[in-house]
């Protein structure tokens, strides 16, 4: 289903939880709503679902304004973080419940349940009750139940939050595969950036009720439009005054300006490793962590601590080593502007 949202607003009392949010979603895409707690993600999802009224703005599904349609007429499936399965019902009864409400015939229900049990890998578990299932299995039942009535849009509110790390990982790739197979437009809420990056076609960063940026994970990582977004996606450190970095491009022209620096744009080495020593900063290694495929090096430059990755083939650095630090690129920002500076 193609979705269009224009100028969406929501107040709870005097508090504006959602501020002028607009976006468009192509059919079949998996969208991650990502942002800090209290930012308004769930409120946006609930308005799309029809579980919360809209103060202002339009929600358009497939060219049709649905603001005034009740949830059951919007063609959506909903999965919550805490399963919300019926405890006294078996797996197959949980899945078929919504279809019985919709008065599907017995034969059609039977076929649909069999199809979903297969799709969600629950064969053999049809007669079990929720308490006889693992967390991951229960969440797959919740998916099957949401998908049963053939919704056009799937809304997922922190679907993996209550599941332990290893299973969560498996469920994420399972969800990605399933959405690809079904081609169903899906939106999920998360505050976990790794989850959003790994699973979503597009991410929408929601902060303080506003949509800060929308794009593929890579686009957002590469071209963050605000310091908030830059700091929220990917690792980074903030240098409070970029002019303290003597070798870094034209940093001295920008006293008092903050800089956000990503690990992959920082290089550490001994003085002899650098052709143009004047473009580097002196630093001291603070910590070195082995990360399996590389070293993570934390280095002190002036009053700042920068982080960088270092290949295993290179000479091993130790805490206390005097090094030179080359910063290739940083995001600079002051109160009303942000821009990228290269070390040239
Ligand atoms: P989280 O990740 O913690 O779930 P969120 O980004 O989903 O956060 P929302 O749940 O949409 O954020 O909440 C946005 C703001 O609106 C919060 O400050 C919340 O306290 C407030 N809020 C949400 N629902 C209501 C309500 N029914 N009544 C009053 N305030 C509400």
* pLDDT per position as a tens digit, 113-160: 999 999 888 999 999 999 999 888 998 999 999 999 999 999 999 988
Question: What SS3 state is found at 210?
Answer: strand
Residues 84 and 211 in one domain: yes
Average pLDDT over residues 78-90: 84
Domain that holds residue 337: 237-342
Check residue 162 and give its pLDDT.
75
| E strand map for the chain | 3-12, 15-25, 30-34, 56-61, 64-65, 76-79, 153-157, 185-190, 202-207, 210-215, 237-239, 258-261, 266-269, 280-290, 294-301, 304-311, 322-327, 329-334, 337-342
pLDDT band for 169, please (50, 70, 90 cuts).
confident
How far, in Å, is the centroid of ligand 1 from the Cα of 12? 9
Q: Can you give the CATH number for the domain in which 337 is found?
A: 2.40.50.140
Pair of tokens at residue 295: 């070293």
Q: Which of 19, 41, 190 to mutate to test the pocket of ligand 1 (most atoms within 8 A of CB)?
A: 41
Distances (CA, A) of 200 to 4, 154, 162, 194, 218: 18, 13, 19, 10, 11
Percent of the chain with pLDDT over 70: 99
Residues 224 and 245 in one domain: no
Residues 168 and 303 in one domain: no
Check residue 60 and give its pLDDT.
97
17 lines ligand 1 (CB under 6 A): yes
140 lines ligand 1 (CB under 6 A): no
pLDDT of residue 284 exceeding 90, the answer is yes
How far, in Å, is the centroid of ligand 1 from the Cα of 18? 9
Q: Can you give the CATH number for the domain in which 146 is found?
A: 3.40.50.300
Residues 54 and 9 in one domain: yes
Residues 58 and 149 in one domain: yes
pLDDT tens digits, 228-248: 888 888 888 889 999 999 999
Residues 71 and 167 in one domain: yes
Residues 40 and 158 in one domain: yes
Residues 163 and 280 in one domain: no
Q: Hey, whose CA ends up nearest to atom 26 of ligand 1?
A: 12
Residues 227 and 282 in one domain: no
pLDDT of residue 81 exceeding 80, the answer is no
Domain final residue pick, 193, 210, 232: 232
Residues 312 and 287 in one domain: yes
How far, in Å, is the centroid of ligand 1 from the Cα of 258? 31
pLDDT of residue 82 exceeding 80, the answer is no
Domain final residue pick, 197, 212, 232: 232
ipTM above 0.85, yes or no: yes
Residues 140 and 289 in one domain: no
Per the structure, the count of domains in the chain is 2
Task: Look up the pTM and report it.
Answer: 0.84
234 lines ligand 1 (CB under 6 A): no
Residue 112 CA, distance from chain mean position = 31
């Amino acid at each position: 289903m193609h979705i269009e949202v224009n100028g969406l607003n929501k107040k709870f009392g005097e508090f504006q939880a959602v501020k002028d949010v607009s976006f468009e979603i192509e059919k079949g895409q998996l969208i991650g709503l990502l942002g800090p707690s209290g930012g308004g993600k769930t409120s946006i999802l609930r308005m799309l679902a029809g579980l919360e009224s809209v103060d202002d703005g339009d929600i358009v599904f497939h060219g049709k304004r649905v603001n005034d349609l009740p949830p059951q007429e919007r063609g959506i499936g909903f999965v919550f973080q805490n399963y919300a399965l019926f405890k006294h019902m078996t797996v197959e009864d949980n899945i078929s419940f919504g279809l019985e409400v919709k008065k599907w015939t017995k034969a059609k229900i039977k076929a649909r349940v069999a199809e979903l049990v297969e799709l969600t890998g629950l064969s053999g578990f049809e007669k079990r009750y929720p308490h006889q299932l693992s967390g991951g299995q229960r969440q797959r039942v919740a998916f099957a139940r949401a998908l049963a009535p053939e919704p056009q849009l799937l809304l997922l509110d922190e679907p993996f939050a209550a599941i332990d790390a290893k299973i969560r990982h498996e469920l994420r790739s399972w969800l990605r595969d399933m959405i690809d197979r079904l081609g169903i437009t899906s939106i999920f809420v998360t505050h976990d950036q790794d989850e959003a990056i790994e699973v979503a076609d597009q991410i929408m960063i929601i902060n303080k009720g506003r949509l800060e940026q929308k794009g593929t994970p890579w686009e957002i990582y590469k071209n963050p439009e605000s310091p908030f977004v830059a700091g929220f996606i990917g690792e980074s450190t903030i240098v409070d005054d970029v002019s303290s970095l003597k070798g870094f491009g034209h940093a001295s022209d920008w006293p008092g300006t903050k800089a956000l620096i990503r690990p992959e744009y920082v290089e550490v080495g001994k003085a002899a490793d650098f052709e143009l020593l004047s473009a580097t900063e002196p630093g001291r290694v603070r910590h070195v962590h082995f990360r399996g495929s590389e070293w993570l090096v934390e280095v002190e430059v002036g009053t700042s601590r920068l982080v960088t990755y270092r290949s295993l083939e290179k000479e091993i650095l130790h805490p206390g080593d005097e090094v030179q630090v080359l910063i290739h690129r940083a995001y600079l920002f002051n109160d009303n502007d942000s821009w990228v500076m290269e070390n040239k």
